[in-house]
């Protein structure tokens, strides 16, 4: 039975070209057992007819703030109380701005203020609008309030340009929604996750680091928590808030992260190393800013300890999962690391190029193990994390329920 069976899902539709995808989302939700109602803004009806969404949902479409046909003539209160989950797809820049500022000038924005249900939005707009600081500030505001931001995807747009701003496909949205009520696959187990980059200081101003945002690692920690595990997170420097219910140890350098992992890993069942840890650090840290004198500058680096390999080499290691972020041949490189470090599972993802996952909300993952590969495909990091946790749980239980384990 789907986790959506019997849940009341309100789909909000705003006025963007991606509104045509809303009908497919509604259909998929109903196929998974959800009870679906649709609320549209006035501009949304210019892109898709209410009759289409009514036919797909089997329910009247709501678009009026004061509905004289409802029992109380206050449909925003009725719908706000009815919904277990609200998902606005597509969510235009205009709607995002109104939601962030708390405006309540139509049915959809008003019921979002009046509900206690979880709200998710799937942004859809031109890539320049998405990158605009005003939009990014609005997104940050909503995320801080607990609104789930699903996407956007990157690709060709209706305007003929390419970039971030495409609405996430209905299939990926469904994968995220079905993961909100996850089976308790990890109940009674403890999981340690690392996330984010590390920072290796050259002097008080400069340092060696990478573009990791920490989003994938944080998503894995949240997914493991939803699967019933006791989760601890060790995070390098990120702009992300600590996940609710997940104790978070914040570190800066690779040596800091090594020490934090060493202090906690003895008591865990599963270790998931998502962090992008610096392989090297400067041999010497300058106490004053390095001045620009010579035409060239040499920097002596020393190797940092390999956290993943060290954990896997313990006398009684936990079930150990590593990430391999590679610019070329990610599966082959992940397999080489799997065999060299003797871990249970490696997760390959390609970085670099226009589809690089750094800083974005989507990713593409391939699981690599001795028996072969499993392609999880491309999707939102939250959805992929849920899939990954299910795969980890399956392999953990298979390993430790086997005779002689």
pLDDT at 371 over 60: yes
Residue 153 in any domain: the answer is: yes
Residue 269 in any domain: the answer is: yes
Residue 331 in any domain: the answer is: yes
Residue 3 in any domain: the answer is: no
Residue 12 in any domain: the answer is: yes
Per-residue confidence (pLDDT) for residue 35, from 0 to 100: 93
Residue 208 in any domain: the answer is: yes
Which of 283, 269, 275, 286 shows the shortest CA–CA distance to 248?
275
Least confident of 41-50, 150-159, 249-258: 150-159
Q: What is the mean pLDDT of residues 284-289?
A: 82
Domain count for the chain, please give it.
Answer: 2
Least confident of 12-26, 63-77, 333-347, 389-403: 63-77
* C-alpha count within 13 angstroms, C-beta hemisphere, residue 303: 3
* Domain of 200, in residue numbers: 190-283+294-400
* Domain match, 347 and 381 both: yes
Residue 396 in any domain: the answer is: yes
| 3-class SS of residue 311 | helix
249 included as an active-site residue:
no
Which CATH number covers residue 317? 3.40.50.10300
* Domain match, 113 and 242 both: no
* Domain match, 23 and 162 both: yes
d(CA 44, CA 15): 4
Residue 183 in any domain: the answer is: no
Q: Of 138, 154, 178, which marks where a domain is finished?
A: 178
* Domain match, 259 and 353 both: yes
Q: Of 149, 178, 207, which marks where a domain is finished?
A: 178
* Domain match, 137 and 210 both: no
Residue 297 confidence class, pLDDT cut points 50, 70, 90: confident
Cα–Cα distances in Å, from 172 out to 16, 146, 315? Answer: 19, 20, 40
d(CA 349, CA 376): 10
* Domain match, 196 and 105 both: no
Which CATH number covers residue 138? 3.40.50.1950
* Domain match, 94 and 141 both: yes
Q: What is the mean pLDDT of residues 36-64?
A: 93
* Domain match, 323 and 229 both: yes
Catalytic residue among 8, 112, 159, 387: 159
């Amino acid at each position: 039975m789907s986790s959506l069976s019997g849940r009341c899902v309100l789909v909000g539709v705003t006025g963007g070209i991606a509104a045509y995808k809303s009908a497919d989302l509604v259909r998929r939700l109903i196929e998974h057992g959800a009870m679906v109602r649709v609320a549209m803004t006035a501009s949304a009806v210019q892109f898709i007819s209410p009759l289409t969404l009514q036919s797909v949902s089997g329910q009247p479409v709501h678009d009026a703030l004061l509905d004289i046909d409802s029992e109380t003539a206050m449909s925003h209160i009725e719908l706000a109380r009815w919904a277990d989950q609200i998902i606005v797809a597509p969510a235009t820049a205009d709607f995002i701005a109104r939601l962030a500022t708390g405006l309540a000038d139509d049915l959809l924005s008003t019921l979002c203020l009046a509900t206690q249900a979880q709200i998710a939005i799937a942004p859809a707009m031109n890539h320049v609008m998405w990158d605009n600081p005003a939009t990014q500030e609005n997104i940050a505001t909503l995320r801080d309030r607990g609104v789930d931001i699903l996407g956007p995807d990157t690709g060709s747009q209706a305007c003929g340009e390419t970039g971030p701003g495409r609405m996430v496909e209905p299939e990926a949205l469904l994968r995220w929604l079905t993961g909100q009520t996850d089976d308790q696959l990890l109940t009674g187990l403890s999981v340690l996750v690392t996330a984010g980059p590390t920072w290796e200081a050259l002097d008080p101003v400069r340092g060696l680091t990478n573009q990791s945002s920490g989003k994938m690692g944080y998503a894995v920690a949240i997914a493991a928590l939803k699967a019933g595990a006791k989760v601890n997170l060790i995070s390098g420097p990120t702009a992300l808030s600590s996940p609710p219910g997940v104790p978070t140890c914040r570190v800066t350098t690779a040596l800091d992260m090594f020490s934090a992992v060493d202090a906690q890993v003895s008591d865990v069942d599963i270790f998931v190393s998502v962090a992008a840890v610096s392989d090297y650090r400067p041999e010497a840290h300058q106490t004053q800013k390095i001045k620009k004198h010579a035409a060239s500058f040499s920097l002596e680096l020393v190797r940092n300890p390999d956290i993943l390999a060290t954990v896997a080499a313990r006398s009684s290691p936990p079930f150990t999962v590593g990430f391999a972020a590679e610019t070329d041949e990610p599966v082959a490189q992940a397999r080489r690391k799997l065999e060299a470090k003797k871990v249970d599972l490696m997760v390959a993802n390609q970085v670099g190029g226009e589809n690089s996952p750094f800083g974005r909300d989507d990713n593409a993952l391939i699981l690599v193990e001795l028996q072969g590969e499993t392609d999880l495909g491309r999707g939102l990091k939250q959805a992929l994390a849920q899939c990954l946790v299910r795969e980890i749980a399956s392999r953990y239980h298979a390993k430790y329920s086997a005779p002689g384990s």
